[in-house]
């Protein structure tokens, strides 16, 4: 272990630009870094950076406490929906600094091979935007909610008490007179999840759902449905509206962004296990516009071979993005990739490199002189009512 540390130490000092550093030392260290021809072959940009004497990939000293492998936790930034890879550097049990995870292609180009030793990775930092680095403040914000809050006043009054986690689970599952302490709600009984999960038979659930589909297709009337399922109508939210489904649907799970497997977990719990259809995420206006642009760009006018007529396919809902690595001209409309917009980490470097070496020109349409607009070849500060006219022109 010490031998490895020493080698990393050599590497760090070899690239620190201090007096006495020779190209020979660097090549020796780079050969260690590669460990094998495979690594050298897979991270040419990284090694090329080292050969140029660049130090920005590396922590300054291996003895720097935050560059020790045992002080680092690899995780994911949740400060925005880009979800960059991060390395959280721990000192005395607290996160002292967050940097980019060099294994993540989003944070280092090219990223380190996954087999790279943690002793090397510890001294290599990927990129991270300021918002990501502010994750330390988010984690230790004194106003961060870390306990279960229960309403202690009328809705909207902003009065809360904290309750133990076990009590919260108990109340949510069993229900009861949960708000006796709130004036006017002393006698209000709240159903718990146990009561709401009224329909537990999967086969019966399927059968009733199929019959609701028949009502929609006008193959069955509501009266016929009620007659067929008369012994089970108490399981429904409203027997006169079987389309609302079983009481189970009264459990609604509203989430923020659900990616990286969380959506699957929530779906298994809410839908497959609890039997409610109501697991809903959300999207944003900016993401919605991205989707619809992507759909419009991939829209096809194709022959429907069954109907023998041409039809629009509807396009694909996908995160279409400009190829900032190879493009020669990019027009950003209302987007500022140097500040946000799906990860400055991945794009700022590619755009900057392109602008420096003359490959890329960018123009920005934005009433605001954003950071991206400030660096652009052209800034077009038109206001909202002209952004439709501009592309038409
Ligand atoms: S772009 Fe910034 S805020 Fe978003 S995930 Fe990456 S580091 Fe975090």
Question: Looking at the chain, which residues constitute the CATH 2.20.25.90 domain(s)?
Answer: 2-140
**Residue matched to tokens 């991939």:** 298
Measured CA to CA, the distance from residue 266 to residue 256 in angstroms comes to 12
pLDDT score of 123: 86
Greatest CA span in the chain, whole angstroms?
92
79 within ligand 1 shell (Cβ under 6 A): yes
Measured between alpha carbons, how far is residue 38 from residues 26, 31, 111, 114, 236 in Å? 18, 11, 14, 12, 62
**Could you tell me the pTM of the whole model?**
0.67
pLDDT score of 45: 52
pLDDT score of 351: 94
Average pLDDT over residues 79-106: 92
Note the pLDDT tens digit of each residue in 117-130: 888 888 899 999 98
Q: Report DSSP letters for 6-59, one per residue.
A: HHHHHHHHHTTT-TT--HHHHHHHHHHHHTTHHHHHH-HHHHHHHHTT--TTB-
Residue 367 has pLDDT above 50, yes or no: yes
Which position has the higher pLDDT, 49 or 185?
185
Which architecture characterizes domain 2-140 according to CATH? Single Sheet (2.20)
Which position has the higher pLDDT, 131 or 340?
131
pLDDT score of 20: 33
CB 200 within 8 A of CB 234: no
Note the pLDDT tens digit of each residue in 155-184: 999 999 999 999 999 999 999 999 999 999
CA atoms within 13 A on the CB side of 232: 15
341 within ligand 1 shell (Cβ under 6 A): no
DSSP SS3 for 64: coil
Measured CA to CA, the distance from residue 255 to residue 270 in angstroms comes to 12
Burial 63-94 (b: 16+ CB within 10 A, else e): eeebbbbebbeeeebbbbebbbbbbbbbeeee
82 within ligand 1 shell (Cβ under 6 A): yes
Average pLDDT over residues 190-203: 95
- Total residues belonging to the chain: 393
Note the pLDDT tens digit of each residue in 277-315: 999 887 766 677 777 888 888 899 999 999 999 999 989
CB 270 within 8 A of CB 276: yes
- Protein residue closest via CA to atom 8 of ligand 1: 132
- Protein residue closest via CA to atom 7 of ligand 1: 132
Average pLDDT over residues 183-203: 95
pLDDT cut 90: percent of the chain above it: 59
pLDDT score of 78: 86
């Amino acid at each position: 272990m010490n031998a490895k540390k020493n080698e990393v130490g050599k590497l760090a000092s070899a690239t620190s630009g201090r007096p006495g550093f020779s190209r020979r030392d660097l090549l020796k260290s780079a050969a260690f870094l590669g460990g094998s021809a495979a690594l050298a072959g897979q991270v040419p940009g990284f090694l090329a950076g080292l050969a140029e004497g660049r130090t920005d990939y590396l922590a300054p000293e291996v003895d720097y406490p935050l560059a020790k492998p045992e002080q680092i936790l690899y995780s994911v930034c949740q400060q925005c929906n880009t979800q960059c890879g991060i390395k959280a550097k721990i000192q005395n049990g607290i996160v002292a600094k967050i940097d980019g995870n060099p294994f993540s292609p989003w944070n280092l180009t090219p990223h380190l091979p996954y087999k790279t030793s943690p002793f090397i990775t510890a001294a290599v930092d990927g990129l991270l935007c300021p918002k990501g680095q502010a994750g330390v403040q988010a984690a230790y914000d004194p106003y961060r909610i870390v306990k279960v809050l229960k309403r202690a006043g009328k809705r909207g009054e902003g009065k809360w008490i904290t309750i133990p986690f076990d009590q919260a689970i108990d109340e949510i599952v069993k229900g009861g007179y949960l708000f006796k302490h709130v004036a006017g709600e002393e006698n209000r009984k709240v159903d718990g999840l146990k009561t709401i999960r009224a329909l537990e038979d999967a086969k019966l659930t399927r059968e009733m759902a199929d019959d609701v589909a028949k009502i929609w297709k006008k193959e069955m009337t509501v009266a016929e449905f009620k007659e067929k399922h008369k012994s089970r109508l108490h399981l429904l939210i409203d027997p006169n509206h079987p389309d609302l489904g079983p009481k189970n649907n009264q459990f609604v799970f509203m989430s923020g962004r659900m990616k990286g497997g969380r959506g699957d977990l929530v779906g298994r719990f809410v839908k497959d296990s609890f039997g409610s259809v109501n697991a809903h995420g959300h999207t944003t206006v900016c993401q919605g516009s991205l989707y619809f642009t992507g759909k419009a760009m991939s829209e096809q006018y194709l022959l429907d071979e069954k109907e023998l007529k041409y039809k629009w396919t509807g396009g694909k809902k996908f995160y279409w993005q400009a190829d900032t690595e190879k493009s020669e001209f990019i027009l950003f409309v209302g987007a500022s990739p140097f500040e946000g917009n799906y990860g400055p980490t991945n794009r700022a470097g590619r755009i900057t490199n392109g602008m420096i070496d003359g490959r890329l020109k960018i123009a920005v349409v934005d009433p605001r002189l954003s950071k991206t607009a400030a660096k652009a070849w052209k800034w077009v500060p038109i206001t909202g009512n002209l952004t439709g006219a501009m592309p038409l022109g």
